């Protein structure tokens, strides 16, 4: 039986590896249109710096990712203690995010009125809708100031998204379920903490876990998977369309590559690419996939000598609320997060521009991009002098946006897919954008395919 996986990002590679491990005899091909596998996981060394063009890590709170890394003989690298220090740029300065509840209410991150409004969360009204935006939820439960200062930059930092459009239950299901179960985030957290005392486990409304990578960056995961898969991975092979004849799928490629057949096809490409591939097969399914938007995001790595950064800035990095009117979404200090990212005496910073609210900024030419980032860093963290290294990574279609209605859209996509036996959709366009989500769903899908077809 031949299985074709279209898309060689982490989802396609992890699925292919798990299928080959479970059924070594299967004929498997993974087709990737780029010269390299990995998708948004893209690590390279440049002038002595270790750079991440996209994903910079995963949280170590999901067992399947750790199970996979162990099987690949990879040693995870936890972020340093410095990474616990996180900032929000507000009212013209960097504000340290307090780690504890008492510290939070004693800090001046929010006004006294804003802090008091959060305390009213326990009596906030319930939502009239099962699917509300992150902005609607945060304003209703926490107040506008907390939303604008804390929740909105979190949405742009994770999704590069617009919190007035992002769906709470699709983007942050844990928080959605907490309110649904307890009627209040504060009450829910208290009850969970009381229950956790019996087990000694920590609880959090957030994702939890420690940011984790590898000594040679996230690319180590891609390299290890590609090495195990060997000739099963075919790079520089763009799939243009698929069609079905009897019990076989015919895969058509661009350029001079002849078509190939497969018994099972898994579309592990982003939804924006999958929609074109299935258009001739099912226009309705293609139209549904086209409804998942992907904004333009540009990532800029800049390195400076430490003495060139005059501001009191260290730790993980900072996010910028939309209301501040800045031209970057935020900046991570990669050299503080993980060891070995920069030579001694240098600070490696990674800034994000664009996203759902400001795609035009991400599309500026290189010179303007560099000027924009340098200007912002000069103002926010008092960078002085010329950067020692600059590298730009462009993602014209970056992160899938789980906007309001996403859950219903995914259900409709699933219903349409039922008409096509042995065709699967896979990847972060549907039920979780992170590395952990992609690996977890790869385990589930590989088990389902092997069980259904007795591979």
CATH number of the 114-202 domain:
1.10.3110.10
Enter the pTM of the model: 0.95
Q: Are strands 93-96 and 2-6 parallel, antiparallel or unpaired?
A: unpaired
Nearest Cα to Cα of residue 314 among 306, 303, 322:
306
Residue 18 confidence (pLDDT) = 98
Superfamily of segment(s) 2-41+220-292+402-453: FAD/NAD(P)-binding domain (3.50.50.60)
Max CA pair span of the chain: 68
Domain ranges of the chain: 2-41+220-292+402-453, 114-202, 295-395
Of 431, 436, 441, 445, nearest in space to 400 by CA: 431
pLDDT the model gives residue 197: 79
Which pLDDT value is given to residue 201? Answer: 63
CA distance 13 to 5: 9
What pLDDT is attached to residue 455?
A: 87
Return the H-helix or E-strand segment holding 5: strand 2-6
pLDDT along the chain (455 residues), means of 10: 97 98 96 97 95 96 97 97 91 89 87 94 90 97 96 95 97 93 91 79 68 97 98 97 95 93 98 98 98 98 94 89 97 95 96 97 98 97 93 97 98 98 98 97 98 92
**Tally of CB atoms within 10 A around 91:** 12
Structure confidence at residue 105 (pLDDT):
85
Instruction: Give yes or no for a contact between 107 and 335, defined as CB atoms under 8 angstroms apart.
Output: no
Q: What's domain 295-395's architecture? A: Alpha-Beta Complex (3.90)
């Amino acid at each position: 039986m031949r299985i074709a996986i279209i898309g060689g990002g982490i989802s396609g590679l992890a699925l292919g590896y798990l299928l080959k491990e479970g059924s070594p005899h299967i004929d498997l091909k993974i087709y990737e249109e780029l010269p390299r596998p990995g998708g948004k996981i893209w690590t390279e060394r440049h002038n002595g710096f270790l750079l991440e063009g996209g994903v910079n890590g995963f949280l170590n709170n999901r067992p399947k990712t750790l199970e996979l890394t162990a099987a690949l003989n990879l040693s995870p690298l936890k972020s340093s203690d410095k990474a616990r220090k996180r900032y929000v740029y507000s009212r013209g300065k960097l504000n340290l995010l307090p780690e504890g509840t008492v510290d939070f209410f004693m800090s001046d991150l929010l006004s006294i009125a804003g802090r008091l409004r959060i305390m009213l969360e326990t009596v906030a009204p319930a939502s009239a809708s099962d699917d509300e935006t992150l902005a609607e939820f945060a304003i209703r439960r926490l107040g506008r100031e907390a939303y604008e200062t804390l929740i909105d930059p979190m949405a742009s930092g994770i999704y590069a998204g617009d919190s007035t459009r992002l769906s709470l239950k699709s983007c942050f299901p844990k928080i959605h379920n907490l309110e649904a179960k307890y009627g209040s985030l504060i009450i829910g957290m208290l009850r969970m903490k009381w229950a956790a005392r019996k087990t000694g486990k920590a609880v959090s409304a957030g994702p939890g876990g420690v940011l984790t990578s590898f000594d040679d960056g996230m690319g180590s995961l891609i390299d290890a998977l590609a090495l195990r898969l060997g000739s099963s991975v075919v790079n520089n092979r763009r799939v243009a369309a698929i069609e079905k004849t009897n019990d076989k799928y015919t895969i058509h490629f661009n350029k001079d590559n002849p078509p190939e057949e497969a018994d099972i096809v898994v579309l592990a490409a982003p939804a924006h690419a999958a929609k074109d591939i299935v258009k001739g097969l099912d226009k309705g399914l293609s139209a549904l996939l086209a409804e998942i938007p992907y904004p333009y995001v540009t990532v800029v790595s800049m390195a400076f000598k430490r003495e060139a950064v005059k501001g009191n800035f260290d730790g993980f990095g900072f996010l910028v609320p939309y209301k501040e009117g800045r031209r970057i979404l935020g900046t991570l200090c990669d050299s503080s997060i993980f060891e070995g990212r920069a030579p001694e005496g240098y600070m490696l910073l990674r800034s994000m521009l664009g996203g759902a609210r400001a795609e035009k900024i991400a599309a500026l030419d290189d010179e303007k991009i560099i000027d924009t980032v340098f200007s912002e860093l000069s103002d926010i963290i008092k960078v002085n002098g010329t950067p020692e290294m600059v590298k730009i990574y462009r993602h014209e279609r970056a992160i899938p946006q789980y906007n309001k209605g996403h859950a219903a859209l995914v259900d409709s996509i699933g219903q349409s897919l039922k008409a096509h036996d042995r065709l699967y959709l896979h990847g972060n366009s549907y039920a979780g954008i992170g590395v952990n989500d992609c690996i977890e769903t790869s385990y589930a899908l590989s088990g389902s395919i092997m069980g259904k077809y007795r591979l």
